[in-house]
Structure 1
Amino acid sequence: MSRLDELIAELCPDGVEYVRLAECCDIEDNKRKPVKSSLRIPGDTPYYGANNIQDYVEGYTHYGQYVLIAEDGSASLENYSVQYVDGFFWANNHVHVIKGRKDLDTKFLYYYLTSFNFIPFLTGGTRAKLNKGNMEEIPIPIPPLPVQQEIVRILDNFTELTAELTAELTARRKQYEYYRDLLLTFGDEVEWKTLGEIGKLIRGSGLLKSDFVEEGFPCIHYGQIHTYYGTSATETISFVSVDKSKKLKKAKKGDVLIAGVSENVEDVCKPLAWLGGDICISGDMFAFRHNQNTKYITYLLQTTDFSRYKEKFAHGAKVTRLRQDKLLAYKIPVPPLEEQEHIVAILDRFDALCNDLTSGIPAEIEARQKQYEYYRDKLLSFKEVTA
């Protein structure tokens, strides 16, 4: 029997009492103060909005341990925005500011609310809102403080482990980018050619939303290149009819798929090594057909050097578009294919460690997150005591 099981058996064997949030929490919405971005004085205090920190300002509205619940504007209704704050902070009027009273640990309250279904308590249509009156009616379990504190300790450990893995992933990605750029740096010992000298760009065909069907011939479009962004992809989630596919431009196995348009410069020219069969491509995408190693070209188009080059020719106000002539003028080192394969093998291992959702650190983080959510929901499910 775990320490938590022992505490529950000893202190609340028949269940716990649920009370209205208004009866167990202090609500400090009256201290909130929205400030337009142009009027904020820069400082060290986090300025909180509905979903996260919006800015850092001088001064504060609150100090201590609090839970911030989105009043409106939550990024998700199913996973409603709940934040925990400890220290000085500034709250705008898009969050409710609450804390537990003497019999309710505020961190326990936070963990409980992250697993709570807020939807029945929301009002409004397109912009759902949790008004104060409805929030006050939310039922909160009040197990004895030792039980609350043990649950907080367990969930804090899960959270800390995930934070450590996330920090390690950030470090590994920086390390990966450094070695990627280093491995792809050459001098006069190899031949240099423009992309136009080793291949050609094939622009996809214009498609409408109505052209996509549930089943048919595989097709990949601009949005999906971001879903699959990395070194390779061998599957698709979109289709067009077989008859439609006969009229469309296609990428072939070994092409590098390139995004031709985006709302920001960074996403233009994002490359994807296509290792599947023939696939239709939309008008916002290009297939680069070449005579080199596909993944080698893909890695080159992810380097810091290419990012700097891209910023000089990508153009557009609201939407940034690829200039084909400038892309094809980009010069790359072309070592022998055997050396390209060796470089790709090294970078593939780095890429899997940093980006693969089925292996490496991202997969471990996802597994830990699922484990955390499972135990959080299990730990915070209490039998209600009956009179």
Structure 2
Amino acid sequence: KLEELIQELCPDGVEIKRIGDVAEVGTGSSNGNEAEDEGEYPFFIRSQTVKAKNDYEYDEEAIIIPGEGGVGDIYHYISGKYALHQRVYRIHFTERSINTKFAYHYFRAFFKAFIMKKAVSATVTSIRKPMIQNFEMPVPPLGVQSEIVRILDNFTELTAELTARKQQYSYYRDSLLTFDNSVPLIALAKLCDIGDGLHGTPEYNDNGEYYFINGNNLSNGRIVFDAKTKRISSDEYEKIKIPFGETLLYSINGTIGNIALYNNENIALGKSAAYFTVTSDKLLLKYLFYVLQSGQTMSYFEKNLTGSTIKNLGLKTLRDYKIALPPLDVQNRLVEVLDNFDAICTDLNIGLPAEIEARKKQYEYYRDKLLTFTPAD
């Protein structure tokens, strides 16, 4: 249908228009600290996260992009009343020949490459108004724009549905790990040895046989080794090793809550990760693995973080935290169910991440093809 529309409506190419000639471009006047938890209107800040306010600045259809932070990577579409941070841009089209949703998809496809060409370094840290105004886009007939929007929205809606399903599994996990008062609450210090890694910098050795791990090496239940992972020699390892058995690792500095199960001894640990080694025969390590990822646990930890710029979760908070401890047979059954949930939610080959990634790649492939036009003479 789209090919037929193009042949019928614009067989000789399409007009290219400069954004500054067809749209209003400007920033908001709100500050980030004006967000309100129960606000009535969307409040766009310099983040993918949308907050809320009880008053609005604009009532329109627009594209929203941050002027700082996430430059070229964060885009929002809005139709209605909203508030805007003072370093976030709105692009409101004044020419009726442009479908704003079409422009939204076009910006997502090509705007970052455009601003990167204007960068004097490898990254762009901020956007200025003329950069947006000088961006150009094709303007095919509205019928063609609408059909492209329909196709691309189908992809994004499916991806959103898959992401929501992942959130649904997290809800089920938290429900399964919520117990009544008949289940005792026990402090983790009574169930585990809990400590953190080296408070300092070891002597690195590119040919060392041991890896030096920090919190950023933990992801989706696994330790991630990459080109940036440092190594240490066996002599250095003997100075700083932690007595691992079957162990759970948890990030406690900067990014809180990254987690991994590990039962080998060829790693040493940095201070940004804590270790949990079970000492009680009443606790399954895999059960603890899921408890530490639950919404209840994360909410408690977030309320007990220290530090201003870089957040830190202290060992005392970990040791004092009380978890529900049902009988071992109940823990085993919960682990079986949650293992299935975990595979669906985190397995990069068979689960939702694989399906979401496939849909994103499909979207990007068709988006780039559908939004490429021959300019009119």
TM-score range, shorter chain: 0.7 to 0.9
How is 1:122-133 mapped onto 2 (pairs within 5 angstroms)?
122=118, 128-133=125-130
2:230 aligns with 239
Give the conservation status (yes or no) of the 8 Å contact 1:67–1:83. yes
1:106 aligns with 100
Match of 2:8 among 3, 7, 10: 10
Q: Which amino acid counterpart does residue 2 of structure 2 have in structure 1? A: L
2:64 aligns with 68
**1:371 equivalenced with 2:348 (yes/no):** no
Return the TM-score normalized by structure 1: 0.77
- The sequence identity of aligned pairs, in percent, is 27
Deviation string for 1:142-198 (max 9, x for gaps)? 22221111101111111222222222322221112101335x98648xxx9765555
Count of residue pairs the alignment pairs up: 363
Partner Cα distance (1:76, 1:300) in 2: 36
**1:115 equivalenced with 2:109 (yes/no):** yes
Match of 1:26 among 23, 27, 30: 23
1:179 aligns with 176
Give the conservation status (yes or no) of the 8 Å contact 1:218–1:279. yes
SS in 2 for 1:35: coil
How is 1:80-229 mapped onto 2 (pairs within 5 angstroms)?
81-94=74-87, 95-99=89-93, 101-116=95-110, 117-120=113-116, 122=118, 128-182=125-179, 187=183, 195-196=188-189, 199-208=192-201, 211=204, 213=206, 216-225=209-218, 228=219
Q: Could you tell me how far 1:33 is from its partner in structure 2?
A: 4.6
**Rg bigger for which structure?**
1
Deviation string for 1:209-258 (max 9, x for gaps)? 87475874223212333xx2x5x325534232224333321463511224
Q: Could you tell me how far 1:308 is from its partner in structure 2?
A: 7.6
Q: Could you tell me how far 1:6 is from its partner in structure 2?
A: 1.6
Return the TM-score normalized by structure 2: 0.79
Residue range with higher mean Cα deviation, 320-329 or 13-22: 320-329
Partner Cα distance (2:51, 2:4) in 1: 43
Q: Which amino acid counterpart does residue 257 of structure 1 have in structure 2? A: L
Structure 2 unaligned segments of length 5 or more: list them: none
Superposed CA RMSD in Å reads: 3.7
Deviation string for 1:9-44 (max 9, x for gaps)? 333334323232233x12153xx5513467789952
SS in 2 for 1:178: helix
> In the superposition, relative to structure 1, how do residues 212 and 304 fare at CA in structure 2: closer, same or farther (>3 Å)?
farther
Give the conservation status (yes or no) of the 8 Å contact 1:169–1:354. yes
> In the superposition, relative to structure 1, how do residues 185 and 169 fare at CA in structure 2: closer, same or farther (>3 Å)?
farther
Q: Which amino acid counterpart does residue 204 of structure 1 have in structure 2? A: G
SS in 1 for 2:246: coil
> In the superposition, relative to structure 1, how do residues 39 and 382 fare at CA in structure 2: closer, same or farther (>3 Å)?
closer
Q: Which amino acid counterpart does residue 206 of structure 1 have in structure 2? A: H
Give the conservation status (yes or no) of the 8 Å contact 1:219–1:236. no
Partner Cα distance (1:87, 1:223) in 2: 39
Give the conservation status (yes or no) of the 8 Å contact 1:4–1:151. yes
SS in 1 for 2:60: strand
Q: Which amino acid counterpart does residue 368 of structure 1 have in structure 2? A: R
1:382 aligns with 373
Q: Could you tell me how far 1:280 is from its partner in structure 2?
A: 1.1
Partner Cα distance (1:28, 1:307) in 2: 40
Give the conservation status (yes or no) of the 8 Å contact 1:203–1:249. no
